[in-house]
Structure 1
Amino acid sequence: MSFHEIRFPANLSFGSSGGPERRTEIVTLANGFEERNTPWEHARRRYDAGVGLRSLDDIEALIAFFEARRGQLYGFRWKDWADYKSCLPNSDVGPDDQEIGRGDGKTTEFQLSKTYASGEHTYTRPITKPVAATVKVSVDGLTQVETLDFSVNTETGVITLTEAPDVGVQVSAGFEFDVPVRFDTDSIQTSVSSFRAGDVPRVPIVEVRV
């Protein structure tokens, strides 16, 4: 897949609108009851980068980034300011934020993930684009040292431990992360006069599977 490991300028994504999108297929039966199903295991996020533009310099930066990605051709990283940490937004990332697996005495690789809980129900989201130097790991409650006890692939979100944890031992992690996305258009319509009048261009961004 064509993907550039570069983040869309965070100052431009700040203030943008967007969030998760689900696809649900609903069939209404003759008796009025419904059958609901989804072909998607994971949500797909959509954003509008145009909302975050505040100056003509921002538009220039947007166009440069758009041209370097060749429009929709290459994916890139996106900071979702509403959801970019393994912990609560106002908390600091810690090594025990998210349980990412249990030891079996053999496995050394674990996929980063974030679990969303509401009542008794949960959803676990794979994290494939962690931010370098933000990942913290603990094994059985003991904080691990990066490069000594573990390594992280920032392109896949896979943690590799130096030693396989014993059976049943909890492996946890904390991190910041980006969303893999692409532009959802091959054209950007801008107008200096319209922008100065408060009319910002629409710049759709959509999450991609990696």
Structure 2
Amino acid sequence: MAFHEIRFPAALSFGASGGPERRTEIVTLSSGHEERNTPWAHSRRRYDAGLGLRSLDDVAELLAFFEARRGPLHGFRWKDWLDYRSGLPSHPVTPLDQPIGTGDDAATSFQLVKRYGEGATAYLRPIQKPVAGSVRVAVGGDEIVEGEGFTLDAATGLVTLDLAPPVGVGVTAGFEFDVPARFDTESVVAAAAGFETGSVPEIPVVEIRL
């Protein structure tokens, strides 16, 4: 299998339902207390991009994308319209959105992450599929320019600074991002609902680990 650096048509994914899932193993003791543990360090997202009634052209675009990925064989980028920015969806990206590291006068590479929650219980989600051209970076609160102060690997989410930040200096970033995903079905069931309309009731999509 491979990962194709191409996004599922964003106009077709708009309105999709879904979100993160967690796996928790729960054992209830004889006292009634519980022991809970998780084998997953990171959540996994699932979506249903069923089109409902759409134009036949939309259905044809979906079928072409499905066939080009060979169904669930190859991964692709997916835009989660509910969670695709480093800050709030209604706020523009800024270079101060997310802390991604602290300088030690040696390290120059930092992984993009998005923080959920605050303090010691915050969850840090690795961002491996940033949208090229959307990433903004600041060192010590001062923005630096891509191509002059840093480079980005848009296939992994790794930011490499031209100069190592001094000890204790914060590195922050803002960005838009996609979810690495694949189809979670071997088949697409489509129907012509009218002369110029078609429907695809279900299109299960699942996040993949890279």
Q: Please name the residue that 1:55 is paired with.
A: 55
Give me the whole-angstrom Cα distance separating, in 1, the residues matched to 2:101 and 2:52: 37
Q: How does 1:131-210 map to 2 (within 5 A)?
A: 131-193=131-193, 200-210=200-210
**Is this contact kept in 2: 1:87–1:97, CA < 8 A?**
yes
Q: How does 1:93-108 map to 2 (within 5 A)?
A: 93-108=93-108
Q: Please name the residue that 1:76 is paired with.
A: 76
Q: Please name the residue that 1:29 is paired with.
A: 29
State the one-letter code of the partner of 2:137. Answer: V
Unaligned 5+ segments in structure 1 are: none
Change (3 A) 1:53 1:157: farther
- The number of residues matched between the two structures is 210
**Is this contact kept in 2: 1:194–1:200, CA < 8 A?**
no
What TM-score do you get using the length of structure 1 for normalisation? 0.95
**What displacement does 1:96 show?**
0.3
Q: Please name the residue that 1:129 is paired with.
A: 129
SS in 2 for 1:166: coil
1:124-152: CA deviations, max 9, x gaps?
Answer: 10000000000000000110011000000
**What displacement does 1:58 show?**
1.2
**Is this contact kept in 2: 1:128–1:154, CA < 8 A?**
yes
Q: Please name the residue that 2:87 is paired with.
A: 87
Unaligned 5+ segments in structure 2 are: none
RMSD: 1.9
Change (3 A) 1:194 1:21: farther
Residue 39 (structure 1) aligned with residue 39 (structure 2):
yes
**Is this contact kept in 2: 1:53–1:59, CA < 8 A?**
no
What TM-score do you get using the length of structure 2 for normalisation? 0.95
State the one-letter code of the partner of 2:148. Answer: L
**What displacement does 1:193 show?**
3.2
State the one-letter code of the partner of 2:81. Answer: W
Residue 65 (structure 1) aligned with residue 65 (structure 2):
yes
Give me the whole-angstrom Cα distance separating, in 1, the residues matched to 2:75 and 2:164: 34
Change (3 A) 1:63 1:194: same
**What displacement does 1:49 show?**
1.3
Q: Please name the residue that 2:112 is paired with.
A: 112
State the one-letter code of the partner of 2:127. Answer: I
**Is this contact kept in 1: 2:59–2:200, CA < 8 A?**
no
Give me the whole-angstrom Cα distance separating, in 1, the residues matched to 2:164 and 2:11: 40
Give me the whole-angstrom Cα distance separating, in 1, the residues matched to 2:144 and 2:209: 30
Change (3 A) 1:120 1:109: closer
Give me the whole-angstrom Cα distance separating, in 2, the residues matched to 1:53 and 1:17: 16
